[in-house]
Structure 1
Amino acid sequence: MSVLLMQLAGPLQSWGSSSRFARRTTEVAPTKSGVVGLLAAAQGRQRTADLSDLATLRFGVRIDQGGTVLRDFQTAHHFASGEAMPVSHRFYLADAVFVAGVEGDRALIEDLHAALRAPVYLPYLGRRSCPPTRPVELHVDHERSLQQALEREPWRAARWYQRRHRNAGRTIELELLVEADARDGQVDSLRDQPLSFDPLHRRYALRGVRRSRVSVPNPYAPRDHDPTSLLGGA
């Protein structure tokens, strides 16, 4: 099995899993359905295409920079009648950075990596109004598991954010959300397992998510200082 790692960073992101009607919320981290949709678009798949190979990929994400939740109010009118439509509430994550990964067959992972480097349809972070500000692809790891690859990846938060946490210590603790089932211990459930992106019949199933924490090096942590290092010997 191989792992494709991606960085998801942009001014705004929005990853919904239970949004309905005029209230469009966002999860605190990218959803599997959102990232699978990004990968399918990069390959040029139509919304009615078969997703079974992508849906079987194991998915995980690390929260490198949690961002801030924003709410946007949107209004609209019917073109013909001019009648006002209900106000919609749309939620976004501002200034967030994530490292996401998918694990699966080596040939499929390499195809997805190539698609991200030359996408048929440009990627976006949950919604079309949320473009990424960095290249999405990071690299492919053929040696480590998904969990190990997410644990070993350097901290990808913005430099200003890293400098702000320079006094947090030599390492920084980050949250991991990795796909799991009941045999892996206590897990949460999230309805973001994609079954169909067909606009006429979108379908999603529940999947298990295991939460954990990992420590990664803090590049801006102060170095140890020895006040006697400049004193010469007798």
Structure 2
Amino acid sequence: MSVLALRLAGPMQSWGSSARFARRTTESAPTKSGVIGLLAAAAGIERGDDEALATLADGLRFGVRIDQPGSRVRDFQTAHHGVTGASMPLSERFYLADAVFVAAVAGETGLLTRLFGALRAPAYPPFLGRRSCPPAQPVELGLRDGDSLQQALTDEPWQAAAWYRRRHQDEAMVSLTVLREADEDEHDADHQRDQPLSFAAEQRRHALRTVVSRSVNVPNPDVVRQQAGRPRHDPFDALEESV
């Protein structure tokens, strides 16, 4: 058993678990469906291949840590019919701006090794929930052998941006929220409909899964460096002082 850790960060993300007509919302954290879709794309799995999708969705347990929650933004989009040129209804779409997450999937080591290799040379480029949301950098953080999902999400270093970490510069440990699939003995779980069954364009299907929310304390790397006697250096400090 291993865990594959991912860093999901970019200018914009959108992780929708529901869509109603012209209104497309986003969850506050990546969904299992969205991350399985990212891995499937990297591995070259086609949309209609439900058997290959089931191998990923059923064989991997999913969790995510909110390192930098970002802010929710709304966008209005217009479109025209490709044949008649008539205006289509105005659509309302929601995104997360400047968010950073650590996502993790736990499963059989061989499967995760193949997925890790696929992320490093993807068949299709990864995106953060929607194709208009590319990641700011490679998403793979690495394989963690022998870790549980909870342990991997606790041990992974804080991935927030430097400007966000400065808001917590007096905290040696930061408290972060982890959302992960519930174990059998955990009875305080909620349900979320983001277990993918099919990504087929004509009828996408999802099932419910159980999710628990936990808090973990993660070391603040800036404070650790200061306590070790190494001065903190950020080139943007000079710009802030001149404002």
Of Structure 1 and Structure 2, which has the larger fraction of its residues in helix? 2
CA distance in 2, matches of 1:36, 1:158: 25
Aligned to 1:143: 146
Matched, 1:191 2:170: no
Question: Paired residue for 2:166?
Answer: 163
Q: In the alignment, is the contact (CA less than 8 A) between 1:182 and 1:208 conserved in 2? A: no
Query: In structure 1, the residue corresponding to 2:92 is in which secondary structure?
Result: strand
Q: How far has the Cα of 1:224 moved from its partner?
A: 6.2
* Equivalent residue number for residue 232 of structure 2: none
Check conservation: 1:181, 1:187, Cα contact below 8 A. Answer: no
Measure how far apart 1:21 and its partner are.
Answer: 1.6
1:79 to 76, 79, 82: 82
- AA aligned opposite 1:32: K
Distance in 1 separating the partners of 2:2 and 2:183: 20
Determine whether 1:89 maps to 2:102. Answer: no
* Partner in structure 2 of residue 34 of structure 1: 34
3-state SS of paired residue (1:30): coil
Name which of 203, 209, 212 aligns with 2:211.
209
TM-score by length of 2: 0.89
Say if 1:4 and 1:103, in contact at 8 Å, map to a contact too.
yes
Corresponding residue number in structure 2 for 1:10: 10
Query: May I ask how many residue pairs the two structures share in their alignment?
Result: 224
C-alpha distance in structure 2 between counterparts of 1:171 and 1:185, whole Å = 28
What RMSD in Å do the two structures reach over aligned CA positions? 1.5
The superposition leaves residues 59-102 of structure 1 with CA deviations (integer Å, 9 ceiling, x where unpaired) of 00000000000000001122333322111000000000000000
1:183 Cα deviation (Å)? Answer: 3.3
CA distance in 2, matches of 1:72, 1:197: 25
Q: Does the Cα contact within 8 Å between 1:195 and 1:203 map onto a contact in 2?
A: yes
- Gaps in structure 2 of 5+ consecutive residues: 229-243
Evaluate the alpha carbon distance shift between residue 143 and residue 182 of structure 1 in structure 2; reply closer, same or farther with a 3 A threshold: closer
Cα shift readout 1:129-162 (whole Å, capped 9, x = no counterpart): 0000111101101121011000000000011111
Question: 80-89 or 143-152: which moved more?
Answer: 80-89
1:135 and 1:224, CA in 2 relative to 1: closer, same or farther beyond 3 A? closer
Conserved? CA contact 1:77–1:83, under 8 Å: yes
Counterpart secondary structure, 2:185: helix
- Which digits, 9 at most, give the CA deviation of each residue in 1:19-42, with x for residues without a partner? 222001000000000000000000
**Which amino acid in 2 is paired with 1:161?**
Y
| Bigger-Rg structure (1/2) | 1
